[in-house]
Structure 1
């Protein structure tokens, strides 16, 4: 829960009450009729303004990151009104350890775990993207204008084509990747927040781990962590409608509405269709919502009366989301792991380097035999034998020595006046060629060695630079911290269960000493039930009001899109000749996989044949006609 400074300055009253021990949030309607009870929601954990970032991470997020390191998929996303602390929750203040958010804490957690691991190889890579006005942008790409496409694979699920990925070896490197992406993220000033996130941002970390199993075979497991910072959920009239802000808000609310519809369909249990395709956000989070992932949703709230409607909407959204049942599983031995590719490439490079070393050894020996046969014995064989092991270990020294020897032989030939001019020239050319071949071999070997070291350095192996005693102490501290967090969670669940049982027990054990006492107790119970009935009626009315608000927002978005469509059709009708328009319309087809209209290529290709089948598809999914009437 976070208080907005502008709301505090305006003097709005507080409408939220949080019970951290019971995990409950109560919200009071500032416009409520006398006697109306506050609405109470119960969650897995609740954190108030006095809670620390470390409390949230250790008690709630840490177990999920541990699962990702074991090969599960995990998602953490923050949802709430602009200005309530979503970005602070996810990122926090990087420079201050006690204020670091979920993302920097997760970085530290991941690489600390890797450094302490034994007999395991890790490969960690990071990607960063944003969904801005329903368009996907790669925040780490050089070309920020390029829009990326969503694809779907039957085996791996939904993915983003051409999304860049950076292999990182430590916390500093992955923080650098994060900072680079954050600089290009879409932000803007609104009435609710001077630096409001105007896009949904997803930082994706893929952790691949290779380990030898009990069967003696090497197994690879892959965990994927989605760290999601959603754009603010609020009505446009609170934002300040100027410039691009209304259009941004319309797209944001549409995608968040689609997210709400997916959650409602998942919780309903009767829905046969889950509308994942209604937005790019829900398609990307498909696994996180009812699929193969462990998911944490952090709902951020504003305590001021000014934010009552948005806070109540957020609480209802979170209350529905907590009932989603996911089906997580370990991703073991997938086919397309980058770690396996790296391991195979390292083995290949190592074999090439070893082969070059053996070649060097053979050349030295054959060179000595040739000199002995020719009677040129000018080389100190004893000295070479002593250095042979060193040369074998260090290719660079060997190649340098060979080059010096060839230069000496070349100088000896030039000084030998007994040789005929043509023979001398021929020998010199041979030596020049040998020197050039040696130089090329040296360059190739150096390139191979550099590539080998670079590839090997990207694979992280724990237990190399850590003092075992310190390592064990740190492990014990973390284990104790996890035990405390688990104990708090169990206490909270037990208290919630005890409250429910107390009410049931009171009803079962009621005995009355007199008729008057029975009347009093039953009257009290009647009043309590009547208050609950009134609360349910108020809830129904609130739901109806919320429905009207959502509908109004959708109508506003529809009107805006209709105006844009009318403008585009006006341009088409007045500036594009009819025959050209018909050519364009005939080339259009609907791609169901990507959920968008596309053009057929002018030249038929193997992927999209021109013909009756494609023409039938075009007739089946026709583009929108020009709107005849629309709200003005």
Structure 2
């Protein structure tokens, strides 16, 4: 794969704090978090602090307080990353935090209200608006949606959403999921429909911390392929992949139980992060889910700690499905943004501190993003080649032309994946011959067949029928022919008519396939009001300039604070001994306060490690109990010969590091 190398860049980390909830206010919980938006700092005060203990301060690339808007986060932090994806980079946005701190709200928001839409719907609008304004470029956009529930990967867009999928690794393309479905989408409406379908089957449930809590890690993957003619006269394809990750909440198990004794799992009913539906599972599932979630997030923390430390030669990506899928996003070929979501209430102090430390470590990770240029396995190139082949066949038949768009019903169509794709997953797409008026700016008119094609074919067939009928009548009236010759000639005419019908069907199928394939390719720069388009471009540029200016101001203020401290240390001239005593006493107090803060931090870290160890021991004890129960069942209820049969079928899958069963019937038999 040809690629343009780029110097490494740090993982971008921002923090966001939600307001106090009514429940927290009613319970009398005080606010312990303060956000300095200008300096990009978060200050956390310990509600149980000893007298004189200083609050803890963390600095990030940006912080967003309770009054921040969804658009602020997107325009200042996420928009540049989406622009990079459209240029051919890989990008990842993920939200991390305790349950109930606003991860799903940040990522998805409220879809029906434009000002409350989160990162994902704003990214949809951004991508298709960019495509509609592009010039001399051809795009193909496809989407996949998956979740990791209790360390099992599920395809949320599959007809069998509960089916477990396997992780595979390709030396050229990296980690991928076998048989993961992907949908080609042509506008915002279609890609939103894809996400809503997935949200209906995602695992959510009610816990003490949140009435609608995500009980799985969900990853929405958008692949944008762009074809553009280069200076060498050849078409070059760039492929950008965007991972939009909504992590399950981190919490201790005593806070993760069901909201009621009979708490049940629920499912969101689409449209972003809300809604309850029917569900399965009992309240007893909550501790098990929390255990799996915490183990997965612990593995993520270990990967981040190993990457941030710069001392470890081994990065434990294989410890969980989540870290394997995010391998490129953490220290690899991707630009990554982490949004740390925080709760401001005093009862969430431990969780908020843990989240802030996690985010603080993530700042030190260095990625090496590069443009993915001219990869071998692009679906866009396969589509272009197939369209060119179909076009040549239609031109050969003399049936290719143009016609205005006409309305028709939407249908779902399966399209074969290109041969270069690992394991040949099925790519599906909605083929629509019309667009809503609201989406016309996203979907320019494309060259398709003449509207008179079907009529011409019918007229041609009717003319041929009439001609054949006349010839048949002439044969019948010709008394010079014997009956056998007449019958033979009539059969020939019938055969010609049947061949004609088959030719018509073949041409119609060819034309339909051509239209279906071409409708999936998006070409910008057509059928757009130039004046309005330019105004929107100018507004977006202004917003980007303002966001960039805020970022520069924040960096300058942080640098000024550091320089002020250095300047104070360098000043060594005093007008009197009294002044020297006062200055040095002040400096000593400041250093002593820093020392106390470091000691408190060390103690907190020690306490945190003890808590993590206790959680791991609890999980280990639970697994040991389950293992003993299974051994008890095997020893007392399964005959030895059946046990031996099962043991003989076991083998270790080194790629997934799991024991599996060999099939009873060998493949291919």
Report the TM-score, using the length of structure 1 for normalisation. 0.89
Q: 1:604 to 1:403 in 2, by over 3 A?
A: closer
Per-residue CA deviation, residues 295-348 of structure 1 (Å, 9 max, x unaligned), is 000000000000000000000000000110000000011111000111111111
Structure whose alpha-carbon radius of gyration is higher: 1
Moved more, 159-168 or 581-590: 581-590
Verify: 1:336 aligned to 2:336, yes or no. no
Verify: 1:346 aligned to 2:387, yes or no. yes
Q: 1:344 to 1:546 in 2, by over 3 A?
A: same
Alpha-carbon shift at residue 220 of structure 1 (Å) = 0.5
Number of the residue aligned with 1:412: 470
Number of the residue aligned with 2:53: 36
Aligned mates of 2:88, 2:107 — CA distance in 1? 22
Number of the residue aligned with 1:584: 646
Per-residue CA deviation, residues 180-238 of structure 1 (Å, 9 max, x unaligned), is 00000000000010000000000000000001111111111100000000000110111
Alpha-carbon shift at residue 353 of structure 1 (Å) = 1.3
State the number of aligned residues: 576
Per-residue CA deviation, residues 481-538 of structure 1 (Å, 9 max, x unaligned), is 1111111101000000000101111221242221122112111111111111111010
Aligned mates of 1:71, 1:95 — CA distance in 2? 30
Aligned with residue 526 of structure 2, among 464, 467, 477:
464
Per-residue CA deviation, residues 239-280 of structure 1 (Å, 9 max, x unaligned), is 226420000000000000000000000011110100000000
Number of the residue aligned with 2:10: none
Alpha-carbon shift at residue 398 of structure 1 (Å) = 4.1
Aligned mates of 1:405, 1:42 — CA distance in 2? 80
Aligned with residue 587 of structure 2, among 525, 549, 564:
525
Aligned mates of 2:44, 2:286 — CA distance in 1? 29
**Structure 1 stretches (4+) deviating beyond 6 angstroms?**
603-606
Verify: 1:213 aligned to 2:230, yes or no. yes
| Contact 2:303–2:317, Cα closer than 8 Å, also in 1 | yes
Alpha-carbon shift at residue 402 of structure 1 (Å) = 3.1
Aligned mates of 1:354, 1:564 — CA distance in 2? 67
Moved more, 408-417 or 106-115: 408-417
Verify: 1:123 aligned to 2:123, yes or no. no
Alpha-carbon shift at residue 418 of structure 1 (Å) = 2.8
Alpha-carbon shift at residue 468 of structure 1 (Å) = 1.9
Per-residue CA deviation, residues 70-109 of structure 1 (Å, 9 max, x unaligned), is 0000000000011110000000011111111000000000
Number of the residue aligned with 1:369: none
| Contact 1:406–1:431, Cα closer than 8 Å, also in 2 | no
Aligned mates of 1:232, 1:157 — CA distance in 2? 28
Aligned with residue 290 of structure 2, among 244, 249, 255:
249
Number of the residue aligned with 2:337: 296
Aligned mates of 1:427, 1:186 — CA distance in 2? 69
Number of the residue aligned with 2:163: 146
Root-mean-square deviation (Å): 1.8
Q: 1:129 to 1:358 in 2, by over 3 A?
A: closer
Alpha-carbon shift at residue 12 of structure 1 (Å) = 0.3
Alpha-carbon shift at residue 603 of structure 1 (Å) = 6.2
Aligned mates of 1:604, 1:467 — CA distance in 2? 61
Aligned mates of 1:87, 1:392 — CA distance in 2? 47
Number of the residue aligned with 1:230: 247
Number of the residue aligned with 1:629: none
Number of the residue aligned with 1:162: 179
| Contact 1:91–1:103, Cα closer than 8 Å, also in 2 | yes
Q: Provide the secondary structure at the position in 2 that maps to 1:331.
A: strand
Number of the residue aligned with 1:367: none
Number of the residue aligned with 2:563: 501
- Judging by fraction of residues, say which structure has more strand: 2
Number of the residue aligned with 1:306: 347
Verify: 1:56 aligned to 2:114, yes or no. no
| Contact 1:4–1:83, Cα closer than 8 Å, also in 2 | no
Q: 1:418 to 1:460 in 2, by over 3 A?
A: same
| Contact 1:357–1:392, Cα closer than 8 Å, also in 2 | no
Moved more, 549-558 or 309-318: 549-558
Verify: 1:557 aligned to 2:619, yes or no. yes
Alpha-carbon shift at residue 604 of structure 1 (Å) = 6.5
Aligned mates of 1:450, 1:310 — CA distance in 2? 57
| Contact 1:125–1:207, Cα closer than 8 Å, also in 2 | yes
Aligned mates of 1:399, 1:170 — CA distance in 2? 33
Alpha-carbon shift at residue 67 of structure 1 (Å) = 0.2
Number of the residue aligned with 2:490: 428
| Contact 2:399–2:453, Cα closer than 8 Å, also in 1 | no
Number of the residue aligned with 1:90: 107
Aligned mates of 1:574, 1:300 — CA distance in 2? 50
Aligned mates of 1:153, 1:601 — CA distance in 2? 24
Alpha-carbon shift at residue 9 of structure 1 (Å) = 2.3
Aligned with residue 263 of structure 1, among 292, 296, 304:
304
Structure 1 unaligned segments of length 5 or more: list them: 360-390, 607-632
Matches within 5 A, 1:593-612: 593-602=655-664
Q: 1:593 to 1:579 in 2, by over 3 A?
A: same
Q: Provide the secondary structure at the position in 1 that maps to 2:111.
A: coil
Aligned mates of 1:435, 1:397 — CA distance in 2? 18
Aligned with residue 110 of structure 1, among 127, 132, 138:
127
Per-residue CA deviation, residues 421-468 of structure 1 (Å, 9 max, x unaligned), is 433333322222111111111111111111100100100000112122
Verify: 1:403 aligned to 2:420, yes or no. no
Aligned mates of 2:495, 2:525 — CA distance in 1? 48
Aligned mates of 2:187, 2:34 — CA distance in 1? 41
Alpha-carbon shift at residue 413 of structure 1 (Å) = 3.8
Alpha-carbon shift at residue 601 of structure 1 (Å) = 4.2
Moved more, 507-516 or 137-146: 507-516
Q: 1:393 to 1:135 in 2, by over 3 A?
A: closer
| Contact 2:472–2:493, Cα closer than 8 Å, also in 1 | no
Aligned with residue 77 of structure 1, among 77, 88, 94:
94
Aligned mates of 1:392, 1:302 — CA distance in 2? 60
Aligned mates of 1:504, 1:570 — CA distance in 2? 67
Q: 1:342 to 1:583 in 2, by over 3 A?
A: same
| Contact 2:92–2:337, Cα closer than 8 Å, also in 1 | yes
- Judging by fraction of residues, say which structure has more helix: 1
Per-residue CA deviation, residues 552-609 of structure 1 (Å, 9 max, x unaligned), is 1111111111111111111211222112212322332211111211223456679xxx
Q: 1:605 to 1:92 in 2, by over 3 A?
A: closer
